[in-house]
Amino acid sequence: MLYSIDCWMTTNKLLMREGLDTNWDSIPLKGGTSMRLTLVGTGYVGLVAAVCFAKLGHDVIAVDREPVIRGLLENKSKVWEPHLEPELADVMAKGRLRFETSIVKSAADADSLMIAVGTPTRPDGQTELGHIHEVLAQLMQSGTCPPLVIIKSTVPVGTCDELEASLLAAGLHTEVAFNPEFLRQGSALHDFTAPDRIVLGCKTSQAETMLRELYEGIEAPIHVCDRRSAELIKYASNAFLAMKISFANMMSDVCEGYGADIRHVMNGVGADRRIGPEFLSAGVGYGGSCFSKDLQALLTTGKLIGSKLPLLEATAKVNDQRIPRMIAKLISLWGNPLGKRLCVLGIAFKPNTNDVRDAPFLTLLAQCERHGIEVQAFDPVVAHVGAKAVKVMDSPYTAAAKADAVLIMTEWPQFAELDWPYLLHLMRQPLVLDGRNLLPDSMISQIVAVDDAVYVPVGRPMECSTSVREERP
């Protein structure tokens, strides 16, 4: 039985299994007044925003470093996002989006300038704003700046006030507004064009008018507020979502202790419309470039004014325990982990993205290396990790060959459709740890029908084959 990697990379199949809109182009975008927008930064947020604003009918210039722009022009973007590649090609062909490397040149005739550069966390817990300051330094040195600078990057409270003061001190009468993003990687285009809300943090009615014109054509509630409140909205939103995930994981430990089923518990809790079902899935914990970073930034923000945030501290602590707890389960089943081989399905921190930043997989890899566990992994879109401690294979079946256990790390929907009895046949030991509770009951029944097979979920009792049950006293 042969399987090729191609069958796991069909984007539309992935999206249909996830229940997402496979034709986001059908969303009506009634572009209004055309604006000249310069957008600095072409990472996940910047590139998606550039494409979507161009699709709305604006004239967009996206600016980044020369190697990044060269890659985009050669169709070699490091960003993998469903539907992004064809939409990027479309707006470029229509002349709505072009790429440049000079911030000053690109911003010279712009109506507004949007900044979507990275703001990583420093070792002391504070947010690194160097990339934003670098952009503004070039504008101040040139003596020219558009009338409105829009910060799309996530920044600490009070940043926009400080940036505007710096521009004013340099003789540039420019207003700085904050317009946070709420994009989920894997569905970013859909989230941009059909958002739950659009937050506009600005000081004057003129800035509000320009921001509203920028988003004209997208039907969504618009929340207008002061800049500091907008900056806090972004942090508070991500912190609350992370808190929901940690709550579900905390309750999963209780469920395991009492033999309850976390799926039923969270379905019952999420049915309350005051709570909602989203972000209540137990598993290996949250990851990615936003939740951990923004949670830490908000904790640091609180410390700066002497405000303790114990709920957020607990959220991070619960999340930090997920991978060690999973490893402890694995070792308890193995006995001696030294020399064992683990097959890991999923490297990216979530489905429909190639982003491995702060992915739970990286924490797992470090733990496995410490315990002498060999790791073979597979991911539908991540082909390279850059760590010697893992072999990235070209299919889930080659990753499972002669493995002593398989761990589902990322809830890629096609993992639920594998030929699990065959995959277990390839392994030395038919042990399945479902770190995302991904597999349906029908597939679990097939797994435990295999001799000596053991299925270990999260937040509910494990299941094992008849042969294993008979061996137990």
Name residue, tokens 């941009």.
Answer: 192
Q: Greater confidence, 23 or 412?
A: 412
pLDDT given at position 11: 35
**Superfamily of domain 322-471, CATH level 4:** NAD(P)-binding Rossmann-like Domain (3.40.50.720)
Rounded mean pLDDT, 455-461: 96
pLDDT of 29 over the 70 cut: no
Rounded mean pLDDT, 271-298: 94
pLDDT of 281 over the 80 cut: yes
pLDDT given at position 467: 67
Q: Across the chain, what does the average pLDDT equal? A: 90
Closest among 236, 292, 287, 246 to 120, alpha carbons compared:
292
pLDDT given at position 118: 93
Q: Which two tokens stand for residue 64?
A: 């980044």
Catalytic residue among 290, 343, 368, 464: 290
Q: Greater confidence, 96 or 470?
A: 96
Give CA angle at 429 (427, 432), nearest 5°: 85
pLDDT given at position 472: 45
How many CA atoms are closer than 13 Å to the CA of 430, on its beta-carbon side?
A: 23
Quick check: 95 and 61 in contact, CB under 8 A?
A: no
202 catalytically annotated: no
Task: Name the residue type at position 114.
Answer: M
Q: How far from the centroid of its chain's Cα atoms is residue 263's Cα?
A: 23
Name residue, tokens 């002669």.
Answer: 402
pLDDT given at position 388: 84
pLDDT given at position 470: 56
Sort 196 into a burial class: Cβ within 10 Å, 0-12 / 13-18 / 19+.
Answer: exposed
pLDDT of 14 over the 50 cut: no
Identify the band that residue 322 occupies on the pLDDT scale cut at 50, 70 and 90: very high
Stated as kind and residue range, the H or E segment containing 425 is helix 420-426
Which residue(s) pair with 455 in the sheet? 432, 463
Contacts for 455-458: CB closer than 8 Å, 24+ residues apart? 456/329, 456/333, 456/431, 456/432, 458/249, 458/252, 458/256, 458/262, 458/282, 458/283, 458/284, 458/434
Identify the band that residue 342 occupies on the pLDDT scale cut at 50, 70 and 90: very high
Name residue, tokens 């340099």.
Answer: 170
> Where does 31-225 sit in CATH, by number?
3.40.50.720
pTM listed for this prediction: 0.88
Q: Greater confidence, 7 or 392?
A: 392
Q: What are the pLDDT digits (tens) for 34-84?
A: 899 999 999 999 999 999 999 999 999 999 999 999 888 887 777 888 889
Identify the band that residue 401 occupies on the pLDDT scale cut at 50, 70 and 90: very high
pLDDT given at position 465: 80
Domain boundaries, the chain: 31-225, 244-318, 322-471
pLDDT given at position 21: 42
pLDDT given at position 80: 82
Rounded mean pLDDT, 217-239: 96
Name the percent of the chain lying above pLDDT 90: 81
Q: What are the pLDDT digits (tens) for 103-140?
A: 999 999 999 999 999 998 888 888 999 999 999 999 99
Name residue, tokens 């809300």.
Answer: 197
Stretch among 174-188, 210-224, 454-468 having the lowest mean pLDDT:
454-468
pLDDT of 4 over the 60 cut: no
Q: Could you check whether 31-225 and 322-471 share the same CATH topology?
A: yes
Give CA angle at 460 (465, 328), nearest 5°: 85
pLDDT given at position 312: 96
> Where does 244-318 sit in CATH, by number?
1.10.1040.10
- For residue 96, give every residue at least 6 positions away whose Cβ sits within 8 Å of its Cβ, in sequence order, or none: 54, 55, 57, 58, 59, 60
pLDDT given at position 78: 78
pLDDT given at position 368: 95
- For residue 441, give every residue at least 6 positions away whose Cβ sits within 8 Å of its Cβ, in sequence order, or none: none
pLDDT given at position 32: 61
Give, as one character, the DSSP assignment of residue 121: B
pLDDT of 346 over the 70 cut: yes
pLDDT of 220 over the 50 cut: yes
pLDDT of 236 over the 50 cut: yes
What is the distance between the alpha carbons of residues 167 and 175, in angstroms, rounded to a whole number?
9
